[in-house]
Structure 1
């Protein structure tokens, strides 16, 4: 069935299931008499809804959202946040997903649908563990207990949520494996992740378990090692065709590539720029993915001796190149961008000129306000263009396209997880898995034939270091910034630093709890706060709530040296 038909069915699902996502405390009096009775809910349609929302959350955080700025894939030159002034989001999305998944689980159990039950268990574990990833302690045992009407749930420890979710991934995979051949059908038009392929769901659950065992590698290495060793013996995602990546179909703002110009207007695309942290490294590695992700700068700048400026002028555009007399820089407070000195240069009050000939990005946290003036922009207005800074590749201007997907879990990620495990002595063939990860990423973006030349690059050829594995994983996870952020938080790799005008000298390590938790669920909220470890950066930003700040450390970072 075509993807358009799948989305048409999805819209029917959303319309039909409006009643199933209501808050637990709704009573008979305020139930919609025209809504679907939850006791009659179709688990297939419920699971479709959860899959869509789960994937869109990954995609929205991944391409042009704040986490993309956090891990320095992109920066916005207008109406954006490059200075790490963001408290996080997703709480309500995850709990909405959990309510629908919980109902799907109950209905599947009532109907005897083993595959649907396992999938509901996987999606519940995924949304719970996402909450723990970003916030720390969260409601878990008491959450979404409609039968008991728990209005003010207690918070479970981050450790309990991580290990409970991992146990659910393992159990769901085992259930599918043990019942293979006797499972009910899950229609391909409803199963938008794997089109009803139970074996792919089993591999996905095992791969998610591997991800989260590795998530605990620094905090609880003995637990992590035992889990990783056991999981590597199980079937995992083993090709690009088996990965979990949901294509955008572009029929509405919510189903389109983030920041596309088709539904969001031209400025939605134009204000997203590559970050120099990313463009610099891709240029140093001669990485072929740069041409897939970025557009060449419209008008490059060359700083040359006075005698070489055409027409004897100090600043002139000739044949699509802007020439500037190098002798005029100092008098105008200008300096050529240097990746090793630019932060000090900015703090000294200098403005920078990037003379890169092909891809020009925005430096991270370049200034306290929006950096639409960067690189001598001749049209320095909010929302205006900048011919001296690269745009993203034209494909990202579209609402949908061959390579435009919400990449929930890629084959490349699995390969890099296996390579890291082997490097730690928990698995085997670190080099082979590293190479397969690089190949998988190039295949994903349609340039697999560039692999042989790229892997021979002196800085790309496997050298047996964790830093190299994590760097290539960071590159491969472009457009999946959420996973890159959590990898950086776990390992401190790559060595990302804030810019000169960031709110703090270190990158935040968690999201702040939403206001309604502080205002309504106060006692349990305060108990959760007591589990956070304050740091020397906790109060870097005045006005945050006690130690509920992005710079307080949750359990997973307590007692470890990463990332700072």
Structure 2
């Protein structure tokens, strides 16, 4: 990604001063003899590293990782059974490592009186800690990043409630720090998000506060309402130009779209398949974004009478189309895919055939093993070589010019528009329909299909009906590749409906990641306190209390998502 070179700079600049929350029995500070003292480090170089790390990890999760699959944008068809048997995810070590770097930058900014850098580091801190508490629950927060003290004490855990509220306080502080137009020592080339524009950072701080106030809408409705109401009057992201995004510029793997095959394994790209949850909905709405995100199936399937099979027999391919004799379906245990019946068909032992003429997705949790044989794929090898299921658009494989499409989109103008629409539907704001339509328009524009807007918003299921469900459904579509927000919106509101799939580990979707084993082993006592705050459910009783199906505080005593 742009300015990815600064990731290398990080390792040259930063001595190993902190452990996150769990590492080793060291009681002395380790110092890198080749490093630079923290009080000599340039915060401009440090924050650019945090920005790029945050952007790449978020997109990697949301495109082809845990959260992209959880939001049911994608499924993987090899080396994954898609059963949602969640473990630690990839967030803990990544985020705490970035937080360590960000802490040094923040301390330098405070020491030097650099309000711009202090505000930016508070925003980055909030986003990184926000990810962590979203997915784990209670975490080391106020006591994190200090390492062991001389008595060997390890960082304690803060409650999820206190972490969320602390994040909001930091964001509101950051917005105040970023008021004005004159700041010292701002290197615009190192600010890879906003090129040193403090007004855009301030809008982001307020927009993130709105996101986190709304995150608490079901758990703490009064607190949420008060926060949302006051934040709506502040400067917010107000155009696509204000979005928090970062372009993938290509050239090398680290600067390229995740799982693309141009600089790595081609099968990494081919293993990522569109999920039927999103393809079915896009087809239902006649949504033009489907052609931007997904490729037409290479070999569509038609079920026809025996006399229409080319060359006779029960199955044949001709001119890029596969034909199957309809009279043999029952005797072979085949069933034609339908979103309404596929789960029951799988549970009945049927083999699915998808006769979609253009886009064929991979259903959720459709196999107990790798689903590379889905839709009667007989090639019999892993690696995504299934010509009977659609692939992602070649734009994401870097085989075509991605133009302005290949971006890490961490906070979009569409998202703020849908947040405002939701606030209005809840009675906490105004202009629900206007903001809803603005969110759709913004998403269509960034994906290059804005000319379809007028027709699209009149489609059945898209035309505004005043419900929370329709807002969350369009927000889910607009958050394509930002799996974090799409999944967390579902966990908060239950919209859109996401089923775990016929062969998932449990009958419901998971709610959290489990704590990493290193943390459990090295910060055992404090971790046990954090894990004890989780609420056991009927789906978590086969695990310890640290289960993907145990409820963290934010979904305790609420009715969503299950």
Does structure 1 residue 13 correspond to structure 2 residue 14?
A: no
SS at match of 1:310: coil
- Pairing partner for 2:171 from 159, 169, 172: 169
Distance (Å, rounded) in 2 between the aligned partners of 1:475 and 1:20: 42
2:272 corresponds to which residue? 272
Looking at structure 2, the residues matched to 23 and 338 of structure 1 have their Cα atoms a distance apart, in angstroms, of 51
Q: Give how far 1:81 is off.
A: 4.4
Partner residue of 1:200?
200
| Counterpart position of 1:490 | 492
Counterpart-to-counterpart distance in 2, 1:448 and 1:398 = 23
Q: Distance in 1 between matches of 2:209 and 2:72?
A: 27
**How do 1:206-285 and structure 2 match up within 5 A?**
206-285=206-285
Deviates more, 1:253-262 or 1:352-361: 253-262
Task: Report how far residue 22 of structure 1 moved.
Answer: 5.0
Q: Is the 8 A contact 1:303 1:326 kept in 2?
A: yes
- Range that drifts further, 78-87 or 42-51: 78-87
Q: Secondary structure at the match of 1:139?
A: coil
Closer, same or farther in 2 for the Cα pair 1:101/1:384, shift >3 Å? closer
SS at match of 2:409: strand
Q: Distance in 2 between matches of 1:279 and 1:209?
A: 32
Q: Structure 2 CA distance, aligned partners of 1:29 and 1:515?
A: 24
Moved more, 214-223 or 167-176: 167-176
1:335 CA displacement: 1.2
Query: What is the Cα deviation at residue 560 of structure 1?
Result: 0.2
**Equivalent residue for 1:126?**
127
Matches of 2:363 and 2:549, distance apart in 1: 22
> Equivalent of 2:446, from 444, 447, 471?
444
The offset of 1:312, in angstroms, is 3.2
- How big is each residue's C-alpha offset from its partner over 1:504-556, in whole Å with a ceiling of 9 and x where there is no partner? 101110110111221111111111122111111113xx4x4x21010000110
TM-score, structure 2 length as denominator?
0.95
Deviation at 1:393, TM superposition (A): 0.3
Structure 2: runs of 5+ lacking an equivalent: none
Q: How many Å separate the matches in 1 of 2:30 and 2:229?
A: 51
What CA distance in whole angstroms lies between the structure 2 residues aligned with 1:529 and 1:479?
30
Structure 1 runs (4+) greater than 6 angstroms displaced: 24-29
Compare 279-288 and 245-254 and name the one that shifted more. 245-254
1: CA distance, partners of 2:146 / 2:32: 20
Contact 1:279 1:360 in 2 (8 A): yes
**What are the equivalent positions in structure 2 for 1:519-538 lying under 5 Å apart?**
519-538=521-540
More divergent stretch after superposition (78-87 vs 204-213): 78-87
Instruction: Give matches, 1:281-360, under 5 Å.
Output: 281-360=281-360
When residues 146 and 345 of structure 1 are mapped into structure 2, their CA distance, relative to the original with a 3 A threshold, is closer
Unmatched 5+ residue regions in structure 1?
none
**Helix, strand or coil: the match of 1:415?**
helix
> Is the 2:375–2:389 contact (alpha carbons within 8 Å) kept by the matching residues of 1?
yes
Tell me if the contact between 2:248 and 2:256 (Cα under 8 Å) persists in the aligned partners.
yes
Structure 2 Cα separation of the partners of residues 43 and 170 of structure 1 = 21
* TM-score, with length taken from structure 1: 0.95
Which piece of structure 1 moves more, 318-327 or 224-233?
318-327
Look up the SS of the partner of 1:471 in the other structure: helix
Distance 1:300 1:29, change over 3 A: closer
What is the CA-CA distance between 1:283 and the residue it aligns to? 0.4
Local SS of the residue matching 2:64: coil
Matched, 1:561 2:559: yes
CA distance in 2, matches of 1:172, 1:328: 66
CA RMSD of aligned residues (A): 1.8
1:337-486 matched pairs, under 5 angstroms: 337-398=337-398, 401=402, 402-486=404-488
Query: Which residue does 1:64 correspond to in 2?
Result: 64
Q: Check conservation: 1:51, 1:123, Cα contact below 8 A.
A: yes
Which residue is 2:34 aligned to? 34
Find the aligned partners of 1:511 and 1:374 in 2 and give their Cα distance: 28
Distance (Å, rounded) in 2 between the aligned partners of 1:500 and 1:28: 52
**Secondary structure class of the residue paired with 2:368:** coil
1:148 Cα deviation after fit? 5.7
